[in-house]
């Protein structure tokens, strides 16, 4: 695939393999080449057992253009506490984005997400699925932001450290 907008001439085409980093270790003025391990870290399997709550977030826009999450708007409510969570607990958060919407980047300070499932994804996202539950490659790690497409529902495991 080429860059259709010609915004990144010379860039590696989308979907192609890409070398991200080269590490050189200098020892006493010499450079040594060493092979990195095949796996640099380990992420435990998804486990939603023990999640204390399933919390639903409905994302939508009113006819007057005001964006809402569960009928709550930041400009109207400011930093009012919407819910509390116990340190060390975990919960499942379900983001439901209205069809008449835009892609919403869901972000919460101080927590990390693990995507459990995507449902109702647009066709271009369904083509990128690499794992069960409709998950794509970018869903496979610890995330601080999840992009939720119009008409899509994303279920995520959230840990409260």
- Domain locations in the chain as residue ranges: 54-159
User: pLDDT tens digit string along 58-103?
Assistant: 999 888 888 888 888 777 776 777 778 888 899 999 999 999 888 9
User: pLDDT tens digit string along 1-31?
Assistant: 555 555 666 777 766 777 778 777 667 766 6
Backbone angles phi, psi at 92, to 5 degrees: -105, 125
Pairing of strands 153-159, 135-136: unpaired
Its pTM stands at 0.74
Q: Does domain 54-159 have CATH number 2.60.40.420?
A: yes
User: pLDDT tens digit string along 135-153?
Assistant: 999 999 999 999 999 999 9
Two structure tokens written together for 75 = 């400009």
pLDDT (0 to 100) of residue 120: 97
**Residue pair 25/34 in contact by the 8 Å Cβ criterion:** yes
């Amino acid at each position: 695939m080429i860059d259709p907008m010609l915004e990144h001439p010379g860039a590696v085409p989308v979907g192609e393999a890409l070398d991200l980093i080269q590490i050189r270790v200098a020892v006493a003025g010499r450079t040594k080449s060493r092979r990195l391990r095949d796996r640099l870290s380990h992420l435990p399997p998804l486990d939603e057992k023990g999640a204390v709550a399933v919390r639903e977030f409905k994302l939508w826009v009113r006819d007057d253009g005001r964006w809402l999450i569960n009928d709550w708007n930041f400009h109207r409510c400011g930093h009012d506490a919407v819910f509390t969570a116990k340190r060390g607990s975990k919960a499942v958060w379900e983001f439901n984005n209205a069809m008449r919407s835009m892609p919403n980047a869901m972000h919460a300070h101080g927590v990390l997400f693990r995507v459990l499932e995507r449902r109702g994804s647009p066709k271009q996202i369904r083509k990128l699925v690499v794992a069960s539950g409709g998950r794509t490659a970018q869903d496979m790690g610890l995330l601080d932001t999840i992009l939720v497409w119009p008409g899509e529902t994303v279920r995520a495991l959230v840990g409260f450290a």
